[in-house]
Structure 1
Amino acid sequence: MDKPANIEIYNELKRRIVEIEYKPGQLISEKQLIEEFGVSRTPVREALLKLSQNGLVDMIPRVGTYVTQVDLNEVKYAYEVKRNLEGLAAELAAQRAGEDDIEELYEIIMRFPQYDLVKDYKKCIKDDQKFHQITRKASRNPILIQTLEELNTKTARFLQYIQYVLDDYNWFHESLKEIAEAIKDRNPKAARIAAEKHTQKFLEQMSRNFFR
């Protein structure tokens, strides 16, 4: 079944905001969106309202709709919460993941050696996010998945905004492998510890460079 127009528009606008195609502070024209997507005002308005609820746009009456600024404190808090919840997701994934989920994790791990870590920083970020998205999906817990997706939107947008380049590729690659192997081995405790360590190191790196 096709997704409703407002959901498709929401997903596309969210992608543009997270990937910084729409820059912080940029005005979003409802009229242009209506023309671009070939829809009435209602689905565009519904998509923008959902983006507003998720903190990605500010809708100012009689003024316009603007992409929100990146809030460093909000990103820091998101990482702090993600540390434990990503660990829980990996723990549950080790118990519930299907073979297709595990195969997808290993496909991502295999791609990283092909990347130029400077030129391909966007691909690195997207594949890291995809890895954790698969892990969350494999948890088979819809509340956990939704919560982490909302947190991930904040952190992914931040990494794209600062054009984050991995400063320790070997650790990063081995860290993802450690999570995947624990899930494949059906070892919930090891999966949780590996995922928490992975997120904690990101938080430490961000704290040294950006957070107070």
Structure 2
Amino acid sequence: MTPFFKTSASQTSVGRRSLLVSAAFVALAGHGQAQAQAQIDQPAPAFSVTGADGKTVTLDSLKGKTVVLEWTNHDCPYVKKHYGSGNIPSLQKEAAAKGVVWLQVISSAPGQQGHVDGPTALKLNEQRGAAPAQTLLDPTGQMGKAYGAQTSPHLFIINPQGQLVYKGGIDSIATAKVEDIAKAEPYVKVALTELAAGKKVSQASTRPYGCSIKYAS
């Protein structure tokens, strides 16, 4: 019996390619879901990370406090801009005076730019006049990837209820020029001020800028 429809070799090949493309899209979608980043107004990803002083810091232990997470890399020109000018150290000190817990996070993998051990991290902060509550060492990148941290600096703010209320850049001008700090909209400073006043953060998600985080490959 003659079949109603006969598939040619070329049609079969096209069909196989279509299936492969579809499968690829499904795989990418699944990967994207697995790597979902921290979301605004949702509980911030939990963490338990060793600090530069050897003590373990957990998000649970900070419940009831406003927490700032600052991803950093001391060799990055954008980080040098904000530390050399005194901008980030000033923000850290202002935050501490208001009871805010400011945590630096270093997610550079061993052998990559920005990777340091605990004593070196503490020495760098002393030299720069920095005043974070603690510096967290994340050489595996587990914490950084949980938050979707992309650059140094990249900042996140968690409210006292443990929800993420800000993620993005430190300010609005994405350059390594110190003179641009005064002209920029200070996103993080504004967010902390609004949060302290009991207001919703007006710009909860902005574009981060800086050096890409040197995660382990």
TM range (shorter): under 0.3
* Larger relative helix fraction: 1
TM-score by length of 1: 0.24
**Which of these two proteins has the greater Rg computed from alpha carbons?**
2
TM-score by length of 2: 0.24
* Larger relative strand fraction: 2
